[in-house]
Amino acid sequence: MRVLVDTNVLLAATVRQLPAHAESREFAERLLSSAAPWCLSWVNIYEYLRVATHPRVFSKPLKWTEARAAVSQFLASPQLEILSETPSHLATLEKVVAEAGSVSGNFVHDCHVAALMREHDVRRIVTFDTHFRRFSKIDVATPRDVDL
């Protein structure tokens, strides 16, 4: 089963000051060395770069070169599929939003990711974000829940 790895897991895998660092790093190492198919989206990649290098988010943010090196390592995985919007993206987004109920602010980003997952028939997300439980047809797992 393909999984989408959410930004917060990528961040925790590479930013040592985060509480879930050890768990996420171990998961990322298993993922990158396995034959298991997995997914990212460009929206997650850009969010990772934005947050990992942000001095207001972390007292010791990653340098651009460090964050970019981590992205390069993820992108080098032969099992990785990058999800992109299809021509039916807006219609899919509307369905996701209708299911989720009240949508505003940062949750719009989660709706975008859920719509991408639905468009590409990806049914599992590895995340620490419990908001993804609001979407039907998405199984939410933490890094320790995933067998590779």
Q: Tens digit of pLDDT for each residue in 107-142?
A: 999 999 999 999 999 999 999 999 999 998 999 999
pLDDT at 70 over 90: yes
pLDDT at 35 over 90: yes
Q: Domain count of the chain?
A: 1
The pLDDT of residue 148: 85
The pLDDT of residue 69: 97
Average pLDDT, the chain: 96
pLDDT at 1 over 90: no
Non-local (6+) Cβ contacts of 42 within 8 A are: 82, 84
Q: How many CB atoms lie within 10 A of CB 97?
A: 17
pTM of the model: 0.95
Closest by CA position to 10, among listed 145, 143, 148? 143
DSSP codes joined into one string, 108-135: HHHHHHHHHHHHTT--EEE-S-GGGGGS
The pLDDT of residue 27: 97
* CATH number of the domain bearing residue 106: 3.40.50.1010
Task: Kindly indicate the confidence band of residue 3, based on its pLDDT and cuts at 50, 70 and 90.
Answer: very high
The pLDDT of residue 67: 98
The pLDDT of residue 139: 97
Non-local (6+) Cβ contacts of 24 within 8 A are: 9, 10, 11, 12, 13, 18, 143
Q: Tens digit of pLDDT for each residue in 37-58?
A: 999 999 999 999 999 999 999 9
Range of the domain at 38: 3-145
C-alpha–C-alpha distance, residues 43 and 89, integer Å: 14
